[in-house]
Structure 1
Amino acid sequence: MSAADPADDGSDATRTTASRGSFVRRTAALFALGIPGVAALGATVATQLRDTPLPPGVDLPLPLLVAASLIPTALLLLVAVAVGTYCAPRAGLRSHVDERVARGTPILSSLRGELPEAVGVGLAAGVAIVGLDAVAALLVPEVAQLQRAGETPSVAALLATLPLRFLYGGVVEELLLRWGLVSLLVYLGWRLAGTGVGPSRRVVWAGILVAAVVFGVGHLPALSGTAASLGIPATPGLVARTILLNAVGGVAFGWLFWRKSLEAAMVGHAASHVVLVGVSLLSRLF
């Protein structure tokens, strides 16, 4: 063995350790980005638990119940962030926060040029969702029933949903669906396709569309619970409307993630909620 061999081994070990440390720091930074959204979900869960009788035999303090309910979400977020941190850069997808931790590149100056398009796409997605929901109400009676029965009772109650909409919806859902799921699907599709120059447009669009449908399907349990509480049957038309409306947003935010960045997708998601909240406010004020 030459004298250079130990030095080479040490250099390789150092690089491996540094790479692992970078992965951990990048994962931790993106996970921390989602913590406020998890906290917003916790506040919503706490309100629901205060207003709902506990099952017989359950006698735990409210903070402990809330914390227990958030553990699965936090673990899922951690897994999604770790998966995205590994897959996204390899698939040509990016996050400014990830790049800031990895290479020290500035976040705001990198994001600034993406903001107009991100806001525009998000607002357009919000308008499309509102328009499609109006059409669905004309075609599916259960949709109209759900809209009437499920309206937020007051402006104050609607405004109270803003942290959940912007912090959980705009940030956590993007970390889960775009950074985690889209990155994984695109990376796996690219590797399975066997091309060495990066994922093709077809592979990327397949990942975006699959994640968008998963996003829509993921809202079905909430739909089922809400419809059941209001005495409205979860008909195929109502189910299709729920999947479609959420998939519209998923495609728009997935496109922003692909063409711009994770943070652009977050901005677009938040902008779509501006439209949704604005329409709800106008319907209550006028």
Structure 2
Amino acid sequence: MSSAETAANRGASASSRRSFVRRSAALFALGLLGVAALGTTVATQLRSIPLPPGADLPLSVLVAVSLLPTALLLLVAVVVGTYCAPRAGFRSHVDDRVARGTPALANLRPELPTAVGVGLAAGVAIVGLDAVAALVIPEVAQLQRAGGTPSVAALLATVPFRFLYGGIVEELLLRWGFVSLLVYLGWRLVGTGVGPSRRVVWAGILVAAVVFGVGHLPALVGTAGSLGISASPGLVARTVLLNAVGGVAFGWLFWRKSLEAAMVGHAASHVVLVGASLLGMLV
């Protein structure tokens, strides 16, 4: 190889690395919107609980320390997804915008009806399944009666967190990072075809959906325990199932449309969940 070819290859490699960093930075910045929403929730919680002796740091420092693990996990997921997602056949309009200059909003617009429709359907399915679970699992009924949001104002205060953290950060973690990694590794291990098969993609979506559901169990156990409710196998199964329903719906949007479509669908599902909670409080 001539010196000119070597220099050209080095230049192309450096350009590729810079593009990778810019793409990762853009998605990480998008995710920071959700981290900021989480920060407001953490700040509210810290104001309402007594701090242990010696924890006399400013509230802003305590919030920043609390958010650091989430921010680091988000960064890892973004970097992993930026490498794996395009190779596994997934796309992000923000990623495409940074990499190739394509218009993100214009390309997302045709996907919005499907994203909103799937998200609303997922929300209705979750509410319906939860209602059925309350009829057959006593602990679910107890949790619904005892663990409701105390006021309309308190419920509405959760909306930014639901939309920005749930809709953006969880999709970057679960779909862009985790599903992309699973599908890419599955494809490389199977080693068939020019891209992942439907089976490999569905396996990644389903595994991530179940993990998404399992990830909600610590909060369930804490909430149930504070209310004196047993975290029975039925209550655990209901929690995993309801969250997995959303995970499958958002994973399908990620696969068939884009990361941003999955984000919109996730946010739309919370419209139904918040609406159902409001209806339950007002009726």
TM-score by length of 2: 0.99
Tell me the residue number matched to 1:174. 171
What is the percentage of aligned positions where both structures have the same residue?
82
Tell me the residue number matched to 2:149. 152
1:192 paired residue among 189, 193, 198: 189
Farther off after superposition, 222-231 or 95-104: 222-231
Aligned pair count reads 283
Mapped pair 1:201 → 2:201 = no
CA distance in 1, matches of 2:54, 2:233: 37
Mapped pair 1:138 → 2:173 = no
Partner secondary structure for residue 223 of structure 1 = helix
CA distance in 2, matches of 1:36, 1:111: 19
CA distance in 1, matches of 2:193, 2:266: 32
CA distance in 2, matches of 1:114, 1:42: 30
2:5 paired residue among 8, 20, 44: 8
Aligned partner letter, 1:180? G
CA distance in 2, matches of 1:200, 1:147: 41
Mapped pair 1:277 → 2:248 = no
Deviations 1:95-119 (A, max 9, x none): 0000000000111111111111111
1:111 paired residue among 105, 108, 124: 108
Aligned partner letter, 1:56? P
Deviations 1:166-188 (A, max 9, x none): 00000000000000000000000
Tell me the residue number matched to 2:41. 44
Deviations 1:37-63 (A, max 9, x none): 101101101111111111233222211
CA distance in 2, matches of 1:187, 1:177: 14
Mapped pair 1:57 → 2:19 = no
1:31 paired residue among 13, 25, 28: 28
2:86 paired residue among 85, 89, 99: 89
CA distance in 2, matches of 1:70, 1:189: 32
Aligned partner letter, 2:74? L
Show structure 1 runs of 5+ residues with no match: none
CA distance in 1, matches of 2:231, 2:54: 31
Mapped pair 1:20 → 2:17 = yes
Mapped pair 1:255 → 2:252 = yes
CA distance in 2, matches of 1:279, 1:53: 33
Q: Which runs of 4+ in 1 moved over 6 A?
A: none
TM-score by length of 1: 0.97
Aligned partner letter, 1:199? P
CA distance in 2, matches of 1:55, 1:38: 25
Deviations 1:196-255 (A, max 9, x none): 410000000000000000000000111111111111111111111110000000000000
CA distance in 2, matches of 1:270, 1:150: 22
Partner secondary structure for residue 114 of structure 1 = helix
State the Cα distance separating 1:282 from its structure 2 match. Answer: 1.2
1:242 paired residue among 236, 239, 242: 239
Show structure 2 runs of 5+ residues with no match: none
Partner secondary structure for residue 113 of structure 1 = helix
Tell me the residue number matched to 2:213. 216
Tell me the residue number matched to 2:222. 225
Deviations 1:84-105 (A, max 9, x none): 0000000000000000000001
CA distance in 2, matches of 1:141, 1:73: 34
CA distance in 1, matches of 2:237, 2:39: 29
Tell me the residue number matched to 1:128. 125
Aligned partner letter, 2:33? P
